[in-house]
Structure 1
Amino acid sequence: MGDPLKMIIDASNIAHHQNKAIMKRIIEAIKAVKKLGFKPIVVADASLKHKIDDEEKYKEYIKKGIIKEVPAGTNADHYILKLAEEEDAKILSNDNFREFRDEFKNIDSRRVPYTFENNKIVIGKIPKVRKVKDIIKEITLDALNKFKDKGFDYYNVRHGKKLSGIAIAKEAISRIKVYEEGLESKVEEVFMKIPVLKNVLEMVENIEEGNYIIFVLVNPQDYKKVVKYAGNIAVTVRDNLELEYSPLVAVRNDIFMRKNHFELNVLPSEDVMEESPYNVNITVNNHDYALVKRNSRNIASTIAARIGSWRFPIVAVRPSVLLENPGEFEVTLEKGGQK
Structure 2
Amino acid sequence: MKVIIDASNVAHFGKGNDSSPKLANILSAVKALEDKGYDFVIMADASLKHEIDDKEKYVHLLDEEAIEEVPAGNNADHFILELAEEENAKILSNDLFREFNDEFKDIQSRRLPFSFDGEKITIGESKKPKKDKNILQHICNDILLSIENKRWEVYKGKEGIEFSPLNIAKESIIRMDKSQQDGVGNKIEGLFSKLPMFDKVMDMVEDVETSAPYVIFVLVHPKDYKEAVKSAGNISVTIADRLRLDKRPLIAVRNDLFMKPGTFELNILYSDEVEEEAPFNVEIKINSHDEVFIKKNSRNIASTVAGRMGSWKFPFVAVKPDIILEKPGEFETYLDKNEKYGKKEDK
TM-score (norm 1): 0.54
Tell me the CA shift for residue 323 of structure 1.
Answer: 1.0
**Which letter maps to 1:266?**
I
Aligned to 1:252: 254
Q: What's the Cα RMSD here?
A: 2.4
Tell me the CA shift for residue 174 of structure 1.
Answer: 1.2
Is contact 1:207-1:213 (8 Å) kept? no
Write the distance in 1 (CA, Å) between the matches of 2:146 and 2:175.
Answer: 27
Is contact 2:131-2:329 (8 Å) kept? no
Aligned to 2:52: none
Secondary structure, aligned partner of 2:305:
helix
Tell me the CA shift for residue 132 of structure 1.
Answer: 3.5
**Structure 1 unpaired stretches of 5+:** 1-108, 110-125, 181-202
CA change 1:206–1:285 in 2 (3 A) is same
Secondary structure, aligned partner of 1:286:
coil
- The correspondence of residues 140-289 of structure 1 with structure 2, limited to 5 A, is 140-178=140-178, 206-289=208-291
- The correspondence of residues 1-339 of structure 1 with structure 2, limited to 5 A, is 130=130, 132-178=132-178, 206-336=208-338, 337-339=340-342
CA change 1:179–1:259 in 2 (3 A) is same
**Which letter maps to 1:136?**
L
Secondary structure, aligned partner of 2:314:
coil
Write the distance in 2 (CA, Å) between the matches of 1:245 and 1:208.
Answer: 10
Structure showing greater Rg: 2
**Structure 2 unpaired stretches of 5+:** 1-108, 110-125, 181-204, 343-347
Write the distance in 1 (CA, Å) between the matches of 2:176 and 2:323.
Answer: 49
**Which letter maps to 1:141?**
N
Secondary structure, aligned partner of 1:287:
coil
Aligned to 2:64: none
Write the distance in 1 (CA, Å) between the matches of 2:256 and 2:160.
Answer: 11
> How many residue pairs are counted as aligned between the two chains?
194
CA change 1:315–1:178 in 2 (3 A) is farther
Is contact 2:130-2:328 (8 Å) kept? no
Write the distance in 1 (CA, Å) between the matches of 2:209 and 2:307.
Answer: 14
**Which letter maps to 2:251?**
V
**Which letter maps to 1:154?**
V
Write the distance in 1 (CA, Å) between the matches of 2:179 and 2:320.
Answer: 41
After superposition, give the CA deviation of every residue in 1:28-52 in whole Å (9 maximum; x if it has no partner). Answer: xxxxxxxxxxxxxxxxxxxxxxxxx
Percent sequence identity over matched residues? Answer: 48
Runs of 4+ in 1 over 2 A off after TM superposition: 126-133
Secondary structure, aligned partner of 2:217:
strand
